[in-house]
Amino acid sequence: MGKSGKKRILLKIGSNVLTKGTDHISRGKIEDIARQIANLKDEYEFVIVSSGAIAAARQFVHLEGKEVFVKQALASIGQPHLMRIFQESFRELGLLTSQCLLSYSDFEREQSKTNILNTMNVLIENDYIPIINENDTVATDEIKFGDNDKLGGLTAVLLKADLFIIATNTDGIYTKDSITNNRQETIKSIEDITDLENEIFASISKHGTGGMTTKIEAASIAQAAKIDIWIVNGLKDNFIENAINEAVDFTKIITK
């Protein structure tokens, strides 16, 4: 719960959601997110962890090489464009945004953690929505494997979020049997994460590097701090409000 008495939601949006599975960042998806946050802002305060820097750069630049440092350079080119789209779309609805670039190592030093927390709290108290990405120039963890899942989990814990929403390209986590039978049945609610590990379905994503494995790792981090985790299908319109109203299938990982 934030100082305002509103519930604090950490929303993690992967590249696969932001591009809607295409080669372009979808402005429509960012507008969909902005519209929902505007509708919910009296009750909830939002912090966003967003990927999509590399995807944004790839829209208009080609750099030779597949090495990780080429991706880091692409992220550096794409990040300001990504932020521009967020800023424009959110401002249309009267929402203010800011950018924070973090890496795992920032969560290992007490002083850095205090600095992050203080900065975020000032932003939130002044109605700014922090939009976080990995600092891809200095860190490569999420570029190599993760799609910002773990960064989302660490941030949710540090900011004492009430709810950690992971927006991905499936209706949550499907049961193993339903995958085998090709009828995709969502696991609606689960307490014990080890049960989920047995059901794991590695979702195939063209742009993002994460799969269900990193989502479960991120969920374990958040669950240990007593934060509920929802894994929802961010490709669908209105996915946050629909999940809150239980109007769609998604996976809830409930704290013990």
Binding site for ligand GLU (CB under 6 A): 15, 51-54, 75, 133-134, 136, 142-143, 147-148, 208-209
Sheet containing strand 96-102, edge to edge, reads 96-102, 128-134, 44-50, 7-13, 163-168, 228-233, 251-253, 189-190
Q: How far is CA 241 from CA 156, 226, 234, 238, in A?
A: 20, 22, 11, 6
Q: Of 141 and 228, which has the nearer Cβ to ligand GLU?
A: 141
Rounded Cα–Cα distance for residues 215 and 203 (Å): 10
Rounded Cα–Cα distance for residues 224 and 247 (Å): 28
The structure tokens listed for 5 are: 């008495």
Smallest distance, ligand GLU to C-beta of residue 218, A: 13
The structure tokens listed for 164 are: 């950690």
Smallest distance, ligand GLU to C-beta of residue 154, A: 14
Amino acid at 107: F
Q: Of 133 and 155, which has the nearer Cβ to ligand GLU?
A: 133
Smallest distance, ligand GLU to C-beta of residue 236, A: 20
Smallest distance, ligand GLU to C-beta of residue 136, A: 5
Rounded Cα–Cα distance for residues 241 and 99 (Å): 24
Q: Of 51 and 87, which has the nearer Cβ to ligand GLU?
A: 51
Q: Of 47 and 187, which has the nearer Cβ to ligand GLU?
A: 47
Smallest distance, ligand GLU to C-beta of residue 188, A: 27
The structure tokens listed for 95 are: 């929402």
Q: Of 2 and 208, which has the nearer Cβ to ligand GLU?
A: 208
